[in-house]
Amino acid sequence: MEMKTEINPWGSMEVKDYAKLRDEFGIQPFEPLLRRLKEPHLLMRRGVVFGHRDFDKIIDAVNRKESYAMMTGLMPSGKFHLGHKILAEQIIYHQQTLGANVFICVADIEAYNMRIDDMEKLREIAINEYLVNYIALGLDPKNCDFYFQSARSRDPDKANAFYRLAGMAAKKVTFNEMKAVYGEITPGKVMSVMTQVADILHPMLPEFGGYKRVVVPVGADQDPHIRLSRDIAARFEKEHKFVLPSSTYHVFIKGLKGGKMSSSDPYSYIALTDDPATAKSKIMKYAFSGGRDTLEEHRKKGGIPEVDVAYQYLYSQFEPDDKKMQQIYDDYKSGALLSGELKQILVEKMEAFLREHAKKREHARKQVDKFLK
């Protein structure tokens, strides 16, 4: 790579939070694995995916042409936005580039117990917001096991095996272990967690093709779930030939205003269903800027790319060309590029992406109708 490492806006985050994850819990840095991947994804090259557990074992499996599973879940709520896109692109990379068996779970039992007690609405959001956007982004639905926790499979062997695993997982964990990870425990939380453990481990069951490595790409805050699943996997030695699930970790992508993306505030995110004009307006008005207070000050001191949301979005998702990205960094840092100009670069990329994505989504919608029959 020819880029200077400081252009990575998560440099400081990595030093503090990620080092803690690494040192306390044994998450490994992702960077040393890059040279072992023929075509590492942009998110990996740019350090958005910053850490892993046992992902080297997945690369070994890929190189030996052994099958492996990529497992992920989605909690159906609100609009599909740029934060969800980060995960979707990893799913698609595993499927299209590395050849994974893809398992995508709609965590509707969890959502029902924790948030929205309307299974029909959950189903509708999962399909029309998530699945449609996954396919539009490049997921091949035919080579993908997309399922609902509340109805695992039309194959009774698979359905029964999945729920049996959830039922048995409960014996492998203590109440206090659960409390340490999840805080206050409710019956609904126990049910959600046991189902999630089954989600992560079941691709290894004979009914689902048998022993294979499983990788779960997650945000850094999800590591406690991964650790618990790994602990439980190890305790099934009498019943099942499980291997500890692997994981990768991506950084927290900021909301437009610099905080979290929140489904209750449509100005905190760009949804993939936003029309280009709306997206432009959101970026120009709300995107948290690393520019200085006055033109003079900006020209003199330069912008602060590390905190600039437009910069972060370009870096993580919308400017794949390393040379151009370096140029943007250098120009913004030097003060040659103004905050409004930086936003305009993102706006153009975003408009083109959303226009193209809208077309792809129309096509995807037809595939979904076929797929669900």
Among residues 48 and 74, whose Cβ is nearest to a copy of itself? 74
Residues from 226 through 255 that contact a copy of itself (CB under 8 A): 238-239
Chain-centre distance for alpha carbon 69: 16
* 185 makes contact with a copy of itself (CB under 8 A): yes
Among residues 178 and 307, whose Cβ is nearest to a copy of itself? 178
* 95 makes contact with a copy of itself (CB under 8 A): no
Please report how close the Cβ of residue 238 comes to a copy of itself at its closest, in angstroms. Answer: 7
Residue selected from 3, 34, 178, 358 as contacting a copy of itself according to rule CB under 8 A: 178
Beta bridge partners of 246: 215
Please report how close the Cβ of residue 166 comes to a copy of itself at its closest, in angstroms. Answer: 8
Q: Which region, left, alpha or beta, applies to residue 39 given φ > 0 means left and ψ of -120 to 50 means alpha?
A: beta
* 218 makes contact with a copy of itself (CB under 8 A): no
Handedness of CA 140, 141, 147, 148 (dihedral sign): positive
Chain-centre distance for alpha carbon 19: 20
* 373 makes contact with a copy of itself (CB under 8 A): no
Cβ atoms of residues 196 and 225 within 8 Å = yes
Among residues 32 and 167, whose Cβ is nearest to a copy of itself? 167
Among residues 185 and 358, whose Cβ is nearest to a copy of itself? 185
Among residues 93 and 147, whose Cβ is nearest to a copy of itself? 147
Q: Is 288 exposed, middle or buried (0-12, 13-18, 19+ CB in 10 A)?
A: middle
Please report how close the Cβ of residue 140 comes to a copy of itself at its closest, in angstroms. Answer: 24
Please report how close the Cβ of residue 8 comes to a copy of itself at its closest, in angstroms. Answer: 40
Beta bridge partners of 103: 71, 145
Name the residue type at position 67. Answer: S
Please report how close the Cβ of residue 234 comes to a copy of itself at its closest, in angstroms. Answer: 15
Cβ atoms of residues 144 and 69 within 8 Å = no
Name the segment binding a copy of itself (CB under 8 A); options: 167-175, 278-286, 307-315, 337-345: 167-175
Q: Token pair of 174, please?
A: 């203590």
Site string for a copy of itself, 123-162 (x = CB under 8 A): --------------------------xxxxxxxx--xx--
Q: Token pair of 97, please?
A: 């580039």
Give the residue from 84, 91, 7, 18 showing the smallest Cα distance to 251. 18
* 117 makes contact with a copy of itself (CB under 8 A): yes
* 181 makes contact with a copy of itself (CB under 8 A): no
Please report how close the Cβ of residue 242 comes to a copy of itself at its closest, in angstroms. Answer: 15
Hey, which bits of 13-109 come out as E strands?
A: 28-29, 49-53, 68-74, 101-106
Q: Residue count at the site for a copy of itself (CB under 8 A)?
A: 38
Handedness of CA 202, 208, 214, 216 (dihedral sign): negative
Q: What's the CA gap between 270 and 255, in Å, rounded?
A: 9
Give the residue from 92, 103, 86 showing the smallest Cα distance to 138. 92
Instruction: Please give the residue ranges that form the binding site for a copy of itself (CB under 8 A).
Output: 109, 112-113, 117, 119, 149-156, 159-160, 163-164, 166-168, 170-171, 173-175, 178, 185-188, 190-195, 238-239
